[in-house]
């Protein structure tokens, strides 16, 4: 098993099942002791803002705020720099613990030894 899991989620409310799957996998991996780095890109960028995860609904899925909290407690969440800029989201706007970083950091994390990268 990989020592680290890097997950990039590109979907938000526009593709709820794909979005929920990414957050679920990240939360389960973090709870299992895997080092998790979850990247919010595209429409999932909005979930870096306080209260936005609570607006997300998907029947028979774990509540997104709970999954987000689980990943934040045991892993790292990063908001894509360009995605944040396109949505006029700044570091002052995001949930405590969420960082903003760009493609160079994503590539560095994804290509590190012992890392498995997934994109949803």
Q: Over the stretch 25-80, which tens digit does the pLDDT of each residue have? A: 999 999 999 999 999 999 999 999 999 999 999 999 999 999 999 999 999 999 99
Q: What range does the domain containing 13 cover?
A: 2-117
Is 15's pLDDT higher than 70?
A: yes
Is 1's pLDDT higher than 90?
A: no
Share of the chain above pLDDT 70, in %: 98
Number of structural domains found in the chain? 1
Is 85's pLDDT higher than 70?
A: yes
- Alpha carbon distance 66, 71 (integer Å): 9
Instruction: Name the pairing type of β-strands 76-80 and 98-101.
Output: parallel
**DSSP-assigned letters across all residues of the chain:** --SEEEEEE--STTSHHHHHHHHHHHHHHHHTT-EEEEEE-GGGGGGGSTTTGGG---TTS--HHHHHHHHHHHSEEEEEHHHHHHTT--TTTSPTTEEEE-HHHHHHHHTSTTEEEEE-
Q: How confident is the model at residue 2 (pLDDT cuts 50, 70, 90)?
A: low
- pLDDT (0 to 100) of residue 27: 98
Q: For position 42, which CATH number holds?
A: 3.40.1260.10
């Amino acid at each position: 098993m990989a020592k680290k899991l890097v997950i990039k989620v590109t979907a938000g409310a526009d593709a709820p099942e794909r979005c929920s799957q990414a957050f679920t996998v990240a939360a389960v991996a973090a709870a299992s002791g895997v080092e998790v780095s979850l990247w919010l890109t595209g429409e999932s960028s909005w979930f870096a803002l306080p209260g936005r995860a609570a607006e997300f609904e998907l029947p028979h899925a774990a509540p997104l705020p709970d999954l987000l909290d689980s990943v934040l407690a045991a892993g790292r969440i990063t908001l894509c720099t360009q995605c944040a800029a396109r949505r006029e989201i700044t570091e002052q706007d995001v949930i405590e613990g969420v960082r903003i970083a760009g493609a160079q950091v994503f590539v560095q994390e994804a290509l590190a030894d012992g890392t498995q990268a997934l994109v949803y």
